[in-house]
Amino acid sequence: MSDDVERVRDTLVFDGPGLWPKFFRFIVLLVLASCIATYGLLGDSVAVVIGAMIVAPLMLPIMGLAFSVSVGDRSGIGRTLIVSLVGIATAVTVGFLLTLPIAQIIKPDAIQQITIRTAPHLLDLMAALMTGLAGAFALARKDVSDTLPGVAIAVSLVPPLANAGILLACGESRLASGSLLLFGTNYVAILLTGALVFAVMGFRKAVLSPCDPRARRRAVTVALLALVIIAIPLSLTSYRLIITNKIAVRTDAIAEDWVRGSGYRLLSVDAETADGSVNLMLVGEGELPSLKVLDQRTRGVLFGRTLRLKVVESRSLYPGRKEPGRALDPLPRVALPPAYLP
């Protein structure tokens, strides 16, 4: 066990004679990963973003902090916390600087890989907790360390930070705060579950250096408090998501029944709009069904939101045929160049 402890400590904790070379490698990889993540997000490329997750070394200082907390290593707690904070600032700065020259021609809310990282909810917290358990176990056991790339993909660390930098460069501070909340959720969840795994596996008993119980209790208390604080906005976001999905499902069913038998069909129901309205889009022709009936049927399912109806007039025309009760206008003659005449 003592050999495993030393191996994990050498991997995760930034101290000793190899501190600066290790820190230099960390920063170089982090900058590269942040560049990859930024361009992947701007290009709306899932594959490139996943590549950035694999390259990014940001999980090391977070797991190092979890390890130091579990064994009560006060100096390790301080060092790994500083390294992780430097890493956070670096990733956000890289995203900001790379986006700033092209910020005027970017529309962040039209890029899916950017928007999906601006509204975290409780499911993200649950996923981060499980990822922390898997990551700490993989680091603690040498025989399963080959699963670490999968853990790096499962947890989202550098992409939310790069995303925050992109949004700050575009002047979207509200959306940037959502990305930072997603990162904070992952950070705290990995810290707590990682410390729990290291403690359960008996790492504290195998550590030869003196333990500082007060530092350990203080760090765990702060982390738990941060988790409670983070859970509040996540719960609110989750509640809004549930309500939005409920509105969309019920409105869809009502609208489908409303247009049945008419010349229109329902194209889409959009309840995730910036102004909170619910948009119905119809396509077809002829007279619309009664709008008063639609208003009465949807009033109880919109939770106070405004319903907007968008209608696209559409009619099929067949050259050479006559519509019922109407003569079809002849097709216009088109003058062709001499080379195309028979």
Cα gap 170→314, rounded to integer Å: 38
Residues 107-125 have a mean pLDDT of 91
Domain containing 260 — which CATH number? 3.30.300
Residue 216 is predicted with a pLDDT of: 75
Q: Are residues 56 and 164 in the same domain?
A: yes
Residues 211-221 have a mean pLDDT of 77
Judge whether residue 66 has pLDDT over 50.
yes
Query: For 126-175, where are the E strands, in sequence order?
Result: none
Residue 237 lies inside a defined structural domain of this protein: no
Residue 70 is predicted with a pLDDT of: 83
Between 15-24, 75-84, 326-335, the lowest mean confidence (pLDDT) is in 326-335
pLDDT band (50, 70, 90) for residue 337: very low
Residue 190 lies inside a defined structural domain of this protein: yes
pLDDT band (50, 70, 90) for residue 322: low
Q: Among the ranges 3-7, 167-171, 297-301, which has the highest mean pLDDT value?
A: 167-171
Q: Are residues 152 and 6 in the same domain?
A: yes
Q: Are residues 33 and 106 in the same domain?
A: yes
Query: How much is the mean pLDDT over the chain?
Result: 83
Whether the predicted model's global pTM rises above the 0.85 cut: no
SS3 call for 266? strand
Judge whether residue 83 has pLDDT over 80.
yes
Domain containing 171 — which CATH number? 1.20.1080
pLDDT, greater one: 98 or 150:
98
Given 192, 211, 230, the domain boundary residue is 211
Q: Are residues 269 and 186 in the same domain?
A: no
pLDDT digits (tens, 9 = 90+) for 18-28: 788 889 999 99
Residues 257-265 have a mean pLDDT of 90
Q: Are residues 38 and 114 in the same domain?
A: yes
Q: Are residues 184 and 252 in the same domain?
A: no
Q: How many CB atoms lie within 10 A of CB 8?
A: 22
Residue 71 lies inside a defined structural domain of this protein: yes
Q: How many CB atoms lie within 10 A of CB 83?
A: 23
Cα gap 270→252, rounded to integer Å: 9
Residue 266 lies inside a defined structural domain of this protein: yes
> What token pair was written down for 236?
């609110």
Q: Are residues 149 and 198 in the same domain?
A: yes
Between 77-91, 133-147, 154-168, 281-295, the lowest mean confidence (pLDDT) is in 133-147
Q: Are residues 255 and 152 in the same domain?
A: no
Residue 219 lies inside a defined structural domain of this protein: no
Judge whether residue 11 has pLDDT over 50.
yes
Given 163, 192, 211, the domain boundary residue is 211
Q: Are residues 256 and 193 in the same domain?
A: no
Provide the CB-side half-sphere exposure for 273 (13 A, CA). 16
Q: Are residues 159 and 301 in the same domain?
A: no
Gyration radius from the chain CA atoms: 28
Residue 316 is predicted with a pLDDT of: 63
Cα gap 125→115, rounded to integer Å: 18
Residue 339 lies inside a defined structural domain of this protein: no
Q: Are residues 93 and 158 in the same domain?
A: yes
Judge whether residue 333 has pLDDT over 50.
no
Domains identified in the chain, total number: 2
What are the strands of the beta sheet with 307-313, ordered from one edge? 264-270, 278-284, 307-313
Query: For the chain, where are the E strands, in sequence order?
Result: 264-270, 278-284, 307-313
Between 124-133, 201-210, 252-261, 282-291, the lowest mean confidence (pLDDT) is in 201-210
Given 169, 194, 211, the domain boundary residue is 211
For residue 254, give its domain range.
244-313
SS3 call for 308? strand
Q: Are residues 200 and 260 in the same domain?
A: no
Judge whether residue 336 has pLDDT over 90.
no
Instruction: Return the percentage of the chain with pLDDT > 90, whole number.
Output: 38
Between 7-11, 171-175, 320-324, 330-334, the lowest mean confidence (pLDDT) is in 330-334
Residue 323 lies inside a defined structural domain of this protein: no
Residues 275-292 have a mean pLDDT of 88
Residue 187 lies inside a defined structural domain of this protein: yes
Pairing of strands 307-313, 278-284: parallel
